[in-house]
Amino acid sequence: MSTVVLFAVLAFVLQMRNSWEQRKRLLHLGHYLRNFDIEKLMESLTEGYLRALGEDDADRRMQIWNMLEQTEQNLNDQFHRFVDAFAQADAQASQGSTLPLALPFALVFAPSATFDMRQLLKVHAQGIDATLTNAEGLSHRDKAFRLSAELFLMQHSCHWFCKSKLVASARMLSRHKTHYAQLLNSVRPQTRQAYARLMRV
C-alpha cells in the first residue's frame, strides 16, 4: 500500500471517528433537551424583544415588556429543570473539549483540555436567573440585552459541546450576527468569570 493511500485511509478513519464522537455528544445532550421547549421560548423572547424595541408608543411598548415577563419566567423554569436533569447525566459522556477544533480522541489524549458540560450549564442557569432577578435595576432594554447575551452564550456552549468552539462561533455569527467576543463582553461579570475558569478562555 502506497504512502498516499495509507494516509488517505487514516484520514478517512479519523474523520469517521470524529463524526461518531460528535453525534454521540449531540444525542447525549438532545436526550435531555427534548423534554423542554427552551429553543422555542428563546425564539419567542428574541422576537418579542425586537417588537418592544421597535414600538414607538410608550404604553404599547410597556404592554409588550409586561407580556414578555411570563415567557422569561417560563424559560427560566424550564432551563433550571433541564439543568437539574442533566446534572444526573453520566460524567464521562458529559465531557467536552476546550480545543477550538474538533479532533478525534481529544478527550483521551488531551484530558487537561476538557470541560464538564454539567458544570457549565449550571453557570448559565445562574446567569439567566440573576439577570431576571435584576438586582441591578436594569431598564427593560438593558435587561433584554443582558438576558439575550446570557442565552446566546448558553446556546454557544451547547454547540461547542456537540461540535467545537469554531463551529459554535460560526453559527452564532450566522444566526445572530454576534461575535463570540461580544457575547463574553455582554454577559454578567460573574458569568464571564465562572465561564472563563471552566473553559480556560
Partners of 114 in beta bridges: 97
- pLDDT of 6 reads 65
d(CA 184, CA 14): 33
Length of the chain: 201
- pLDDT of 3 reads 75
- pLDDT of 4 reads 67
Dihedral of alpha carbons 158, 141, 127, 181, sign: positive
DSSP 164: -
Range of the domain at 87: 3-199
The ranges of the chain with pLDDT < 50 are none
Query: Rounded to two decimals, what is the model's pTM?
Result: 0.93
Helix or strand holding residue 160 (H, E): helix 140-162
- Residues 78-87: pLDDT tens digits? 999 999 999 9
**Dihedrals phi, psi of 95, to nearest 5 degrees:** -90, 135
d(CA 140, CA 45): 13
* Number of folded domains that form the chain: 1
Q: Determine the Cα angle at 121 with ends 103 and 89, to 5°.
A: 75
- pLDDT of 9 reads 67
- pLDDT of 106 reads 82
